Chains A and B, each alone.
Chain A
Amino acid sequence: MNKITIYTTPTCVFCPAIKKLLDKAEVAYTEIDVSQDADALEEMKKVSGQMGVPVTVIDDTVVVGYDKKKLQRAL
């Protein structure tokens, strides 16, 4: 089973699309709101080098943005 974390903000427009894709694949995931958690924001920057959401981490694969093909390949 994949370990999946998705870093989001409450206003992220691509995040619901990613969650819909993960739900459709029937996989569990942890969602972290980086707007409310400075440590989580630093963690997201560390794993992805990014300051923007969404960032999805599927095991060792980091997917930046809503890259449907890369997400599907990583699952």
Chain B
Amino acid sequence: MYELIIIGGGPAGITAGIYAARKKIKTRLLTSDFIGQVGLSGKIENWPGKTSIKGAALIGQFEDHLRQHDICISEDDALAIEQGQQQFTVRTGAAETLLTRTVLLATGRTPKRLGVPGEEHYAGKGVVYCTTCDAPVYQNKNVVVIGGGNTGFSSAIELTDYAREVTLLEATDTIQADEVLQERAAKKGVHVLTKQTVQEIQGDEYVNALVLNDGQKRETDGVFIEIGHTANSAIAPQAVQRNSQNEIIIDPYNCATNVEGFFAAGDVTDIKDKQIVTAAAEGTKAALSLYSYLRNI
């Protein structure tokens, strides 16, 4: 039996894994991959010590750091978690059944879908959820980014290196992105339009237009969707409390949930700020709290 199973290979899970290994907690870390939201990011400019680093490079460094430690890592999906008497059973995609005293859920978030007609049909055919991956494919094209937060603005800025024309549409009348990103987007020639809601994505073989809330049709070759994220909390046992956004409710002091022995850290939880540095800090807090918990049961 393991003392701890960590589920998730992002900054929270990896940092927790490093601390757990240093505390010699008998740990297994399960993750479907080491990509996640960090890997999907273009440039990251708020990780201390690196003025600018690509998301894929940063998560690669995190993974390398983790693998320097004595910890069992499986690139495998966790499919189910069952709560038992002072233990949990974790079933994996490779048909393993693992027993553990505690669980740390650090499964992060996934990008939200717009939920409009045409979106699903044109996914990969002009509808894009990974700007970093596909921006180079849109050389000299006319593209639209949906979402006026930091990720929307970062995507729009990244696209200006390739696309002929970049327009950013925000549904509300307020831009939430950091001022520094707004200034950079303006310098790069991104057209920003507020109070613009997409009603439909149209095309033939590939996307060629958007229909907006006022019925206006806007021609475009690509639609990059960056409207926020949803918490990957579905795998947690039903007894674990979530908030209205399906984020796991944790005790901010120690990352414990309402279920004895079940902890959560990072973007899957109800912490206010979803940042790489805060996720790493939460992973640390959780691992050290789990160490105390395990030594006192």
Chain A interface (Cβ < 8 Å from any Cβ of B): 9-17, 34-35, 41, 49-54, 64-66, 68-69
Contact = CB atoms under 8 A, between A and B. Distances in A.
Interface of B: 32-35, 39-40, 42, 54-56, 60, 93, 124-126, 128, 130, 132-137, 139, 205-206, 222
B206 to A, nearest CB: 6
A13 B55 contact: yes
B184 to A, nearest CB: 18
Nearest to B128: A52
B136 A17 contact: no
A51 B35 contact: no
A66 B136 contact: no
Given A51-B134, A52-B130, A52-B133, A17 B206 contact: no
B56 A16 contact: yes
B135 A11 contact: yes
Name the 4 nearest CB pairs between A and B, nearest first. Answer: A35-B136, A9-B136, A50-B124, A52-B134
A62 to B, nearest CB: 12
Q: Which of A52, A68, A69 has the most CB of B within 10 A?
A: A52
Given A13-B56, A16-B56, A66-B33, A51 B124 contact: yes
A13 B40 contact: yes
B35 A17 contact: yes
Contacts of B126: 51
Contacts of B56: 13, 16
Q: Which of B35, B42, B126, B136 has the most CB of A within 10 A?
A: B136
A9 B35 contact: no
A9 to B, nearest CB: 4
A51 B133 contact: no
